[in-house]
């Protein structure tokens, strides 16, 4: 008989409605909290019959049932942080306010008051009841419409968002995060207001339809981060980055737009070791095949991105590149994350247009490889470095230029070089095998020099 090895995790609590479609509400909160290494507990306030296309029916539980669930959790668990979502009626709002009033743990209040369509989800009495719950909040996270309902201020820009946040603090909240996800600008600005000052978190807006539940996931992630001991600004910053990635890589489920990917960070982290193995395997194949004829003067590199990579630190590459030797080619050092700059940025920029791309390498452009490009049975794109704007990032601009001009995502992207810039071919693919096949095609026959 083996001995057990108990694991101690901070306990988080969600007080919200059930979403039978799994995209929002309790279901989204539980997955998000689990993905953030907390043990999630729950108080269900309502039961909805819904899916990826909408809500069919909704039933709010009796306030006594809500209180009984809360007391059962609080009696047994050392709750380190909690969040609220859809509460449904003034009675439930007041009950939750009363329950948490002596709790002592951080409370994130997501005031679910206005639907994405703009419809009010609570009557005037319910909206007034929220004033008591806001006064118990460590952080309140209204979107623009909800902030306007709570404060009477439309937070259309940073200045008015700060005013709305200050008003929520006057109502008793320790801090307010006025979120910008419901706007139509090219960027999202989430404004954190505390008694000490204001911080704005800005990231590009994602043109995705599967955003149902993104607010739930954001507030659940903040609560989990607070429960794990993070300070407020760090908890908010990390949760915003998580929510943006969860929306960027939605799950294709149901007949509607799909669902945000609540486990996106967990799955991305789990793929790191496999990504390193794949890059090493590709390097070993290049060494065995002797790709010396394709190695440019600046050296060759191989980059692999985790499935949901958003930064260079989430790409693995050869440290110091692959260079020619007397006997063929060898990597200078091993494979590690963050080892590439230029090629990694190119791959990340290419993923903006074709998110399934995960691997890349660079080859020299010679007479032989140029001729091989002409017979490559895959899309090829060219760009002219002379057209590059002076203030741009070469890799970002090159990928943007190549992918926007192509009818379908290119597999090989080449340029003739410029002053101080060597002519180059960049090969991208969804798998190491795709990249290897193109490199093998570009490699000249034996005894054919560059």
Complete domains list, the chain, with CATH = 11-269 (3.40.1190.20), 271-442 (3.40.225.10)
pLDDT at position 182, please?
56
Query: Does an H or E element contain 413, and which?
Result: strand 412-415
Whole-Å CA distances, 444 to 120, 295, 302, 365: 67, 12, 19, 12
pLDDT at position 398, please?
85
Question: Nearest Cα to 15, choosing from 75, 78, 65, 76?
Answer: 65
Give pLDDT tens digits for 64-112.
999 999 999 999 999 999 999 999 899 999 999 999 999 999 999 999 8
Handedness of CA 346, 347, 350, 351 (dihedral sign): negative
Looking at per-residue pLDDT, the higher value among 388 and 6 belongs to: 6
What integer is the mean pLDDT of 373-397?
86
Question: Nearest Cα to 193, choosing from 163, 165, 164?
Answer: 165
Give pLDDT tens digits for 102-140.
999 999 999 988 665 455 667 778 778 899 999 999 999
Least confident of 151-160, 177-186, 265-274: 177-186
pLDDT at position 107, please?
98
Say if residues 219 and 181 touch (Cβ distance below 8 Å): no
Measure the CA–CA gap between 16 and 12, rounded to whole angstroms.
Answer: 13
Measure the CA–CA gap between 141 and 215, rounded to whole angstroms.
Answer: 8
Least confident of 117-126, 142-151, 186-195, 358-367: 117-126
Give pLDDT tens digits for 316-352.
999 999 999 988 999 999 999 999 989 999 999 999 9
Q: What rounded mean pLDDT belongs to the chain?
A: 92
């Amino acid at each position: 008989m083996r001995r057990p090895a108990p694991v101690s995790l901070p306990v988080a609590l969600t007080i919200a409605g059930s979403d039978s479609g799994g995209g929002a509400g309790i279901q989204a909160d539980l997955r998000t909290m689990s993905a953030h290494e907390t043990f999630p507990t729950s108080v269900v306030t309502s039961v909805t019959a819904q899916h990826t296309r909408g809500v069919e029916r909704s039933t709010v539980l009796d306030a006594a049932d809500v209180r009984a669930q809360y007391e059962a959790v609080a009696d047994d668990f050392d709750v380190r942080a909690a969040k609220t979502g859809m509460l449904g009626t003034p009675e439930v709002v007041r009950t939750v306010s009363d329950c948490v009033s002596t709790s002592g743990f951080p409370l994130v209040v997501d005031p679910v008051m206005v639907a994405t369509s703009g419809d009010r989800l609570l009557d005037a009495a319910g909206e007034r009841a929220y004033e008591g719950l806001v006064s118990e909040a460590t952080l309140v996270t209204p979107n623009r419409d909800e902030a306007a309902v709570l404060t009477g201020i439309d937070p259309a820009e940073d200045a008015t968002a700060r005013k709305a946040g200050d008003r929520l603090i006057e109502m008793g909240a320790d801090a307010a995060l006025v979120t910008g996800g419901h706007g139509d600008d090219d960027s999202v600005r989430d404004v954190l207001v505390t008694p000490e000052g204001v911080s704005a978190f800005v990231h590009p807006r994602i043109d995705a339809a599967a955003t149902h539940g993104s607010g739930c996931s954001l507030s659940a992630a903040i609560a989990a981060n607070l429960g794990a001991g993070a300070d407020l600004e760090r908890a908010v910053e990390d949760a915003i980055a998580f929510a943006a990635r969860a929306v960027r890589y939605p799950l294709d489920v149901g007949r509607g737009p799909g669902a945000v990917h609540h486990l996106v960070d967990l799955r991305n982290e789990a793929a790191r070791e496999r990504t390193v193995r794949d890059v090493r395997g590709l390097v070993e194949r290049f060494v065995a095949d002797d790709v010396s004829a394709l190695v440019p003067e600046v050296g060759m590199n191989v980059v692999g991105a985790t499935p949901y990579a958003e930064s260079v630190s989430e790409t693995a590459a050869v440290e110091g590149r692959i260079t020619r030797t007397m006997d063929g080619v060898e990597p200078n050092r091993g494979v590690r994350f963050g080892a590439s700059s230029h090629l990694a940025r190119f791959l990340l920029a290419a993923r903006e247009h074709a998110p399934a791309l995960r691997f890349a390498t660079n080859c020299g452009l010679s007479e032989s490889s140029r001729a091989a490009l002409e017979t490559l049975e895959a899309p090829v794109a060219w760009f002219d470095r002379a057209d590059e704007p002076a203030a741009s990032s070469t890799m970002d601009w090159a990928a943007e230029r190549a992918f926007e001009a192509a009818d379908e995502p290119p597999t090989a992207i080449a340029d003739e070089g410029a002053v101080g810039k060597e002519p180059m071919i960049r090969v991208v693919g969804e798998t190491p095998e795709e990249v290897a096949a193109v490199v093998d095609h570009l490699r000249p026959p034996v005894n054919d020099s560059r």
